[in-house]
Amino acid sequence: MQADYVVVGAGSAGCVLANRLSADGARVVLLEAGPPDRHPMIHIPAGIRTLLQHPVLNWNYFTEADHATGGRKIHWPRGKTLGGSSSINGMLYVRGNPADYDGWAQRGCRGWTHDEVLPFFKHSEDFRSGGDAKAPGGHRGRGGELAVEEYRTILPLTHKFIEAAGQAGFPHNPDYNGPEQEGAAYSQMTRNNRFRASTARSFLSEARKRPNLEVITEAVATGLLFEGKKCVGVSYRQGNQDEGGKDKEIRVDREVIVSGGSINSPHLLQVSGIGPGEHLQSIGVNVRHDLPGVGDNLSDHFVTRISHRMKDDMMSINQLSRGFRVVREAMRYALFANGALTFGVTSAMVFCRSREGLASPDLQLLFTPASYSAVELKTFERRPGVTVAVCPVRPESRGTIMATSADPFDRPAIRPNYLSAEGDAHVLWSGIEKTRDILAAPAMSKHSFGETTPGPVVNSMESARAYGRNYGNTIYHPVGTCKMGEDPMAVVDSRLRVHGVSGLRVIDASIMPTVTTGNTNAPTIMIAEKGAAMIIEDSKTA
């Protein structure tokens, strides 16, 4: 098979790339390891609780056991279907802070300041909740493929949380994706009316009708094909990975674009001979290009949760998920496209600073009008409750993702090294204190029986660190393992071309030099928009 471009991975970035490149007239093949996105729970917003551990639609990775997390192996869900993780995530649309992108530019990533990336955020977006979208020079976009909405149904507990945050010193921010991020805000979601707005549904469903775009599902990339230092194609296995799968190749006339995400992108490069040479040799991989930064610089958002048992006078999702109310909510969803089945995981959030003197927020406090009986967000408690996830959003800790053998089907070793940097524990403790201040404010406290998790045992920075080690969890935002830049550990340049070879780019969350301040789906879509524009621009001048 021959194409102009092959895009490896139909996730948050890959679907956007396939759309934009094929719209320009190029012949594009999009490879996806998972099946089509036909499962109904993908499209119902509340279906996330079914998808977090789904055996087919989820890669279900686990980290290596680490003393920094109490010897636990932490589950890392990653989407394995059209849309990738945008088909299984919590749907929060958070662009990040302008300082994130200005910081990238200061690290040598030319063309990536906030002012330079803002048009690519706006290009994708169809913001349906007011704001300054129509104003000249406004921050929001209208008419793009990606629907962004606020909650249509907001439980009174969420209003009380916003009120309590104001009482605790965190004023209401009407749009955290606008000029200012800081403050307490209602969540914005990638949702189109009653349905999840994954990148597959938003960018791929119509684009697939083009004769110059071919989408191949259940096709696992097994290696990058080279002629010398030039990448000329991709090998893949279609069908059953163990028995009966067919090994195939695609050759390209222009470029291969790796968009497998922060785990699969560095892993594919490594098993193809691009990565830290000494490590590749140790696992039996022939080194094509010694690029030490591949798989390094792993950064993720690590959270701990604070829960309160609430009085029966305030409805939480716990009650809505049981008994006759389930039937009522299903009818509300079917007839009116509102109610609990349209909810994501988080209905409100606070962006704030852990201490005075910081230039921008380093904490995100995510409020859910529900409480859970397990670490992962799968089973609600029987009694009414609320939960706040305390998330240091500018972590200093860094980890690695490394191939364990030359076999592309052997899973890589994931070592995030959570809380290994001393500063992260200080920010975590500050976040716990600020969350307690909000939940103790009158608007919330008069409806609460008090804190149930973690309780009074966490009363210092050291006890907060211990709580994080034993009970903390990922919030599913790994980035940075093929970072952009010009330093010796950079993997791609500012145009997302892999250093040291030609014909190969990486375009996904793995190129972020640092993790953004908040959820990472929106920035990944922006990266794909900007990456596609650069590819098209470069093709005109080649």
Active site residues: 477
The two structure tokens encoding residue 145: 């493929």
CA of 166: how far to CAs of 153, 367, 370, 439, 510, in Å?
21, 14, 21, 11, 36
Three-state DSSP at 69 gives: helix
In one letter, which amino acid is 297? N
Q: b/e for 244-280, b at 16 or more Cβ within 10 A?
A: ebeebebebebbbbbbbbbbbbbbbbbbbbbbbbebb
Q: Which residue has the tokens 């029986």?
A: 449
268 near 257, Cβ under 8 Å? no
Q: Tell me, rounded to whole angstroms, the distance of Cα 357 from its chain centroid.
A: 29
For every residue of 35-49, DSSP letters joined together read --S--HHHHSGGGHH
The two structure tokens encoding residue 428: 């975590």
HSE-up (13 A, CA, CB side) for residue 77: 26
Residue spans of alpha helices (H) in 441-485: 442-445, 461-471
Residues facing 483 on adjacent strands:
none
